Amino acid sequence: MLEVRGVSTRYGQISMLRNVSITLGEGEIACLLGPNGAGKTTLIRTILGIVRPVTGSILFRGERIDGLTTDQIVKRGIGVVPEGRRIFPKMTAEENLRMGAFAQWGTTEVAGRLEQIFDRFPRLRERRRQIAATMSGGEQAMLAIGRALMGRPRLLLLDEPSLGLSPLLVEQIFEMIQAINRQGTTVFLVEQNARKTLALAHHGYLLQKGEIVGAGTAAELGESDIVRHAYLRA
Amino acid sequence: MIGVWAVELGLFVLVVAALLAERPIAVGLTVAAIGILLLAARTSPRLWGWVATAFRTHRAAALAGAAVLALALPFFLRASPYWTFVATMALIYVTIGQGLNVQMGTAGVINLAGAAFAGLGGYTVGLLTVRLGFAPWLAFAIGPLVAMVVGALLFIPILKVRGHYLALVTIAFGFIFNILMNNLEFTGGPQGIKNIPTLRLFGHAFTTAPTLFGVTLPSHANFYYAALAMAALVTWLAWRLYNSWVGLTLNTLRDDEIAAKCSGVSVTRHKLLAFSIGNLFVGLAGAFYAVMVGFVSPPDFDFGYSLVMLSVVILGGLDSIPGVVLGACLLIPLPERFRMLHEYRLLLYGAAIVLMLLFRPRGLWPAGVRRYGLGSPAGSFGAAGTRAEGVGVSR
């Protein structure tokens, strides 16, 4: 589904990612763990074409997408919950969701999808005409996920969706991610919460200082010394 | 419905009185009436709520009533060509305001060179008719297009900057335009271009005084009606745009460019679209101004006017179509009314903006929430109601 091959990026003189390679199979939940500043968000941004790789290539469903613009990349079937959620603050919940189906704009399909999202997140139906910035953190997180799903993505990229949420909401968000995956969407989850993430993911990668330092199934990663010491405090 | 018309008629009488009152008693009465009205609106939410609901439920009637009154205005101002001219200027500023609002309010692309784009429209008309002998209507049609095309060229450097830097680029463009017009030979330098021929419609020259229903109006009434048609057309187009998918997409650029990209929006293309549509409207208004006054010169399009245009949009409410109309209709005639204050009038602009930011930060008539009809993907008409209570709306 998604293949990142030997990608390196830099911001000016500073090297952010070094020779990063990851592979995501169809229907999987893969995760990316790593401390702050490891380059997790940079990797997401590189996949999306917001940051350009210096070397390496990125393939989505067998076709190269590095070099395309962000809007072209997401139209191929990638949904994003960006870092910090980045909902459209001055627009209503419904408008935010509608923008998620931007590629299908003007088609009658949008109304149906909207109803499906409202069924999945009844809270958003209640808030449909509320300005997004005035919604609670949990509602905003649901809105960001709902917006990403409106485009019916084959691949969903989530950059720390649980950030700043209460434990109860984090639990809900993880359950939703699992439900979304069971309906056939491939998920790439970037998280700090290693324990919960590993419980959910099929396999994962460990990123440190811009390099992949560990890879394997969720169980293998959970057993590895780096993860145990750095994240699980075991 | 009758109630809506009564309210409109009352406001109309007040506006005419405010414009024409000369004797101390009349002025005093008008000021008192406006004061009472403002106080009533402020202290009695029930009255305000009743008016708002009435206008929302009888939207068509309200629009028809407003149209009739706008058409009737020149008859009441016929003793004063000057006020007819000022009313026409207000309508020109409605057109400009709608253009700038597409750029700044809807898409968040700051444009501080409104006067320069109006000047491009105006100068094009002047140069084409006076220097090259084009037919006035043809030149009038080309003027806005030139403003749009030059804007698209300026867009190349604009694309690389945003926020304050974008403001600086447009300010620089405004000054470059002015300096060029002042110094180029073929634009007439500081003298400008004189004797721009007026428009004719079915053989009727816009400079001859029209006689309607047996009443002879000042010749400026021609331009008043033409400007009314132009402002109404542009406002209708802006309204359609605002309520369409395109309007919503432009909103995402204003709110968060990265999130817009992640939703599949081509930021470049949509920014260019907003910038071009806006400049087209502004250029149209500039071309209209040129044929109305029959003369263009650099001081007509200097930076100060760009700020007035900006004030119209901010006063009315960013991204609010009716707000722009209200802003222009207040901000253009009011300083004329206070002409006796001379240069201190400029303070009014400053004071108005500061008071606005303090008491109505989202504008006098804040943007409403779009309504989406079930099953209609493009969204239906009628963005009534204010956005969620408590979002910086101070009442």
Taking only the tens place, the pLDDT of each residue in A124-141 is 999 988 999 999 988 999
Average the pLDDT over A66-88 and give the result.
92
B258–A50 C-beta distance less than 8 A: yes
Other CB atoms within 10 Å distance of the CB of residue B183: 11
Judgement on whether residues B236 and B158 belong to the same structural domain of the protein: yes
Judgement on whether residues A161 and A214 belong to the same structural domain of the protein: yes
Range of B41's domain?
1-76
Judgement on whether residues A21 and A39 belong to the same structural domain of the protein: yes
Judgement on whether residues B110 and B176 belong to the same structural domain of the protein: yes
Average per-residue pLDDT for chain A: 89
In a domain, B364, yes or no: no
In a domain, B332, yes or no: yes
Domain limit, last residue, from A104, A134, A152: A152
Judgement on whether residues A195 and A102 belong to the same structural domain of the protein: no
A17 and A210 Cβ atoms separated by less than 8 Å: yes
Judgement on whether residues B24 and B127 belong to the same structural domain of the protein: no
Per-residue model confidence (pLDDT) at position A60: 94
In a domain, B212, yes or no: no
B359 vs B39, B152, B184, CA distance in Å? Answer: 15, 37, 45
Distance between CA atoms of residues B116 and B272, nearest Å = 18
Q: Is the pLDDT at B378 greater than 60, yes or no? A: no
Confidence of residue B386 (pLDDT cuts 50, 70, 90): very low
Nearest CB to B391 within list A75, A103, A134: A134
Average the pLDDT over B347-361 and give the result.
79
Per-residue model confidence (pLDDT) at position B277: 95
Judgement on whether residues A170 and A58 belong to the same structural domain of the protein: yes
* Most confident stretch, A98-107, A195-204, B21-30, B156-165: A195-204
Per-residue model confidence (pLDDT) at position B361: 80
For helices B136-158 and B114-126, angle between their N-to-C axes, nearest 10 degrees: 140
* Chain B residues near residue A107 by CB distance under 8 angstroms: 377
Judgement on whether residues A189 and A203 belong to the same structural domain of the protein: yes
Judgement on whether residues A95 and A136 belong to the same structural domain of the protein: yes
Enclosing H/E stretch for A121: none
Closest chain A residue to B261 measured between Cα atoms? A71
Q: How many domains does chain B have?
A: 2
Average the pLDDT over B76-92 and give the result.
88
Judgement on whether residues A62 and A169 belong to the same structural domain of the protein: yes
Average the pLDDT over B239-259 and give the result.
91
Judgement on whether residues B107 and B194 belong to the same structural domain of the protein: yes
Q: Is the pLDDT at B53 greater than 60, yes or no? A: yes
Average the pLDDT over B77-92 and give the result.
89
A75–B258 C-beta distance less than 8 A: no
* Most confident stretch, A216-220, B16-20, B57-61: A216-220
Average the pLDDT over A83-110 and give the result.
88
Q: Is the pLDDT at B395 greater than 60, yes or no? A: no
Q: Which residues, 6+ apart, have CB-to-CB distance to B191 below 8 Å?
A: B297
Per-residue model confidence (pLDDT) at position B393: 32
In a domain, B367, yes or no: no
The owner of tokens 């917006």 is A147
Range of A140's domain?
91-152
Range with lowest mean pLDDT among B21-35, B215-229, B270-284, B360-374: B360-374
Nearest CB to B264 within list A71, A130, A134: A71
In a domain, B284, yes or no: yes
Per-residue model confidence (pLDDT) at position B316: 87
Per-residue model confidence (pLDDT) at position B376: 40
Count Cβ atoms within 10 A of the Cβ of residue A83 and give its class: 0-12 exposed, 13-18 middle, 19 or more buried: middle
Judgement on whether residues B311 and B191 belong to the same structural domain of the protein: yes
Q: Is the pLDDT at B377 greater than 50, yes or no? A: no
Q: Is the pLDDT at A207 greater than 70, yes or no? A: yes
Distance between CA atoms of residues A197 and A178, nearest Å = 11
Q: Is the pLDDT at B310 greater than 70, yes or no? A: yes
A100–B377 C-beta distance less than 8 A: no
Judgement on whether residues B273 and B158 belong to the same structural domain of the protein: yes
The complex scores an ipTM of 0.88
Judgement on whether residues A190 and A177 belong to the same structural domain of the protein: yes
Q: Report the gap between the CA of A208 and the closest CA in chain B (Å).
A: 25
Per-residue model confidence (pLDDT) at position B372: 67
- Span B208-222, pLDDT tens digits: 777 778 777 788 888
* Chain B residues near residue A91 by CB distance under 8 angstroms: 248, 251-252, 255
Domain limit, last residue, from B56, B76, B96: B76
Domain limit, last residue, from A124, A152, A180: A152
In a domain, B227, yes or no: yes
* Most confident stretch, B62-76, B318-332, B345-359: B318-332
Judgement on whether residues A148 and A175 belong to the same structural domain of the protein: no
Q: Report the gap between the CA of A228 and the closest CA in chain B (Å).
A: 34
Judgement on whether residues A50 and A12 belong to the same structural domain of the protein: yes
Average the pLDDT over B356-364 and give the result.
81
In a domain, B215, yes or no: no
B261–A102 C-beta distance less than 8 A: no
In a domain, B379, yes or no: no
Q: Is the pLDDT at B391 greater than 60, yes or no? A: no
Judgement on whether residues B65 and B94 belong to the same structural domain of the protein: no
In a domain, A84, yes or no: no
And the tokens for B336? Answer: 């004329």
End-to-end Cα distance, chain B: 26
Judgement on whether residues B145 and B15 belong to the same structural domain of the protein: no
Question: What's B332's domain CATH number?
Answer: 1.10.3470
Closest chain A residue to B264 measured between Cα atoms? A71
B378–A130 C-beta distance less than 8 A: no
Closest chain A residue to B383 measured between Cα atoms? A129
Confidence of residue B370 (pLDDT cuts 50, 70, 90): confident
User: Chain A to chain B, count of Cβ pairs less than 8 Å apart?
Assistant: 93
Q: Which of A50, A52, A75, A91 to mutate to test the interface with B (most CBs of B within 10 A)?
A: A91
And the tokens for B29? Answer: 């009465």
Judgement on whether residues A114 and A131 belong to the same structural domain of the protein: yes
B261–A48 C-beta distance less than 8 A: yes
Q: Report the gap between the CA of A75 and the closest CA in chain B (Å).
A: 6
In a domain, A82, yes or no: no
Per-residue model confidence (pLDDT) at position B384: 33
* Chain A residues near residue B388 by CB distance under 8 angstroms: 92, 129-131, 134
Per-residue model confidence (pLDDT) at position B390: 32
Judgement on whether residues B14 and B55 belong to the same structural domain of the protein: yes
Paired residues of A159 in beta bridges: A190
Nearest CB to A106 within list B245, B251, B375: B245
Residue A44: name the closest of A1, A95, A78, A67 by CA: A78
Average the pLDDT over A29-46 and give the result.
90
Q: Which of A75, A78, A102, A114 to mutate to test the interface with B (most CBs of B within 10 A)?
A: A102
Range with lowest mean pLDDT among A63-67, A103-107, B265-269, B339-343: B339-343
In a domain, A83, yes or no: no
* Chain A residues near residue B260 by CB distance under 8 angstroms: 88, 99
Judgement on whether residues A135 and A166 belong to the same structural domain of the protein: no
Question: What's A55's domain CATH number?
Answer: 3.40.50.300
B264–A102 C-beta distance less than 8 A: yes
Q: Which of the pair, B45 or A197, is modelled with greater confidence?
A: A197
Q: Which of the pair, B362 or B179, is modelled with greater confidence?
A: B179
DSSP letters of B303-353? HHHHHHHHHHHHHH-TT-HHHHHHHHHHHTHHHHHTGGGGGGHHHHHHHHH
Average the pLDDT over B243-264 and give the result.
91
Phi first, then psi: give them for residue A3, nearest 5 degrees.
-135, 120
B267–A99 C-beta distance less than 8 A: no
Distance between CA atoms of residues A48 and A46, nearest Å = 5
Distance between CA atoms of residues A32 and A192, nearest Å = 9
And the tokens for B263? Answer: 């939703």
Distance between CA atoms of residues A3 and A41, nearest Å = 17
Residue A215 DSSP symbol: E
Judgement on whether residues B136 and B254 belong to the same structural domain of the protein: yes
* Chain B residues near residue A102 by CB distance under 8 angstroms: 249, 263-265
Q: Report the gap between the CA of A102 and the closest CA in chain B (Å).
A: 6
At CA A205, angle to CA A201 and CA A210, rounded to 5? 145
Average per-residue pLDDT for chain B: 83
CA atoms lying within 13 Å on the CB side of residue A160: 18
Domain limit, last residue, from A152, A167, A201: A152
In a domain, A104, yes or no: yes
Q: How many domains does chain A have?
A: 2
Confidence of residue A146 (pLDDT cuts 50, 70, 90): very high
Confidence of residue A232 (pLDDT cuts 50, 70, 90): low
Dihedral (Cα; B159, B161, B166, B170), 10-degree rounding:
-50
Average the pLDDT over A40-69 and give the result.
92
Q: Is the pLDDT at A50 greater than 80, yes or no? A: yes
Judgement on whether residues B59 and B90 belong to the same structural domain of the protein: no
Nearest CB to A111 within list B370, B374, B390: B374
Average the pLDDT over A196-224 and give the result.
89
A95 and A39 Cβ atoms separated by less than 8 Å: no
Per-residue model confidence (pLDDT) at position B288: 94
Judgement on whether residues B95 and B62 belong to the same structural domain of the protein: no
B129 and B295 Cβ atoms separated by less than 8 Å: no
